[in-house]
């Protein structure tokens, strides 16, 4: 099997892996939204395994692209495909992979925002339980958030 066939096989595996990763990230979003920590832990393990496999494929692809004296960037890979694939058969899976990466990046950002939102909600609940005024937040002259230090009554004192 020549390098072009090896690259094509690796690219196909990457496309399959990115689709699996996208599915797992959608499951992750549902687990975050439903606050299912046990399910979330299983999903994170599965996600990390997929990312490891994708990184392995990417490292191999990088080697093949650089052997042909192209940079391992989207532009360099486009140039690599143009140079080594006269039938342009790699263009479609390469486009699928890039699109999948974009969708996974978007899901990752959305999941991070969901987690951040939950962390803020929990922190606010804890401040209220400790008797701190969680609602009063002001800004200093430089525009930075400044939480007031006024203590209220704790829930046990109420």
**Using one digit for the tens of pLDDT, what is the confidence trace for 67-92?**
999 999 999 999 999 999 988 899 99
At 15 the pLDDT is: 98
SS3 154: coil
**Residue 132 pLDDT level (bands cut at 50, 70, 90):** confident
CA 6-9-94 angle, to 5 degrees, is 110
Residues of the chain with pLDDT > 70, as a percent, come to: 84
| Arithmetic mean of pLDDT, 89-106 | 96
46-66 per-position pLDDT tens digit? 999 999 999 999 999 999 999
| Arithmetic mean of pLDDT, 109-129 | 85
At 155 the pLDDT is: 47
| Token code pair at residue 77 | 């890979």
At 150 the pLDDT is: 47
| Arithmetic mean of pLDDT, 93-121 | 92
Residue 79, exposed/middle/buried by CB under 10 A (0-12, 13-18, 19+)? middle
At 54 the pLDDT is: 97
Q: How far apart are CA 46 and CA 50, in angstroms?
A: 6
Residues of the chain with pLDDT > 90, as a percent, come to: 62
* Domain annotation for the chain: domains and CATH numbers: 3-147 (1.20.58.300)
């Amino acid at each position: 099997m020549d390098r072009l066939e090896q690259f094509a096989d690796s690219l196909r595996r990457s496309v399959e892996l990115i689709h699996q990763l996208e599915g797992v990230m959608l499951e992750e979003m549902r687990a975050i939204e439903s606050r299912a920590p046990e399910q979330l832990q299983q999903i994170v393990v599965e996600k990390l395994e997929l990312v490891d496999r994708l990184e392995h494929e990417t490292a191999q692809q990088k080697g093949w692209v650089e052997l042909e004296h192209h940079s391992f960037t989207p532009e360099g890979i486009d140039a690599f495909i143009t140079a080594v694939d006269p039938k342009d058969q790699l263009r479609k899976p390469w486009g699928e992979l890039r699109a999948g990466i974009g969708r996974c990046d978007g899901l990752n950002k959305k999941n991070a925002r969901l987690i951040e939102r939950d962390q803020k909600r929990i922190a606010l609940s804890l401040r209220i339980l400790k008797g701190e005024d969680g609602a009063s937040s002001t800004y200093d002259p430089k525009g930075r958030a400044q939480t007031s230090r006024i203590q209220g009554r704790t829930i046990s004192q109420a």
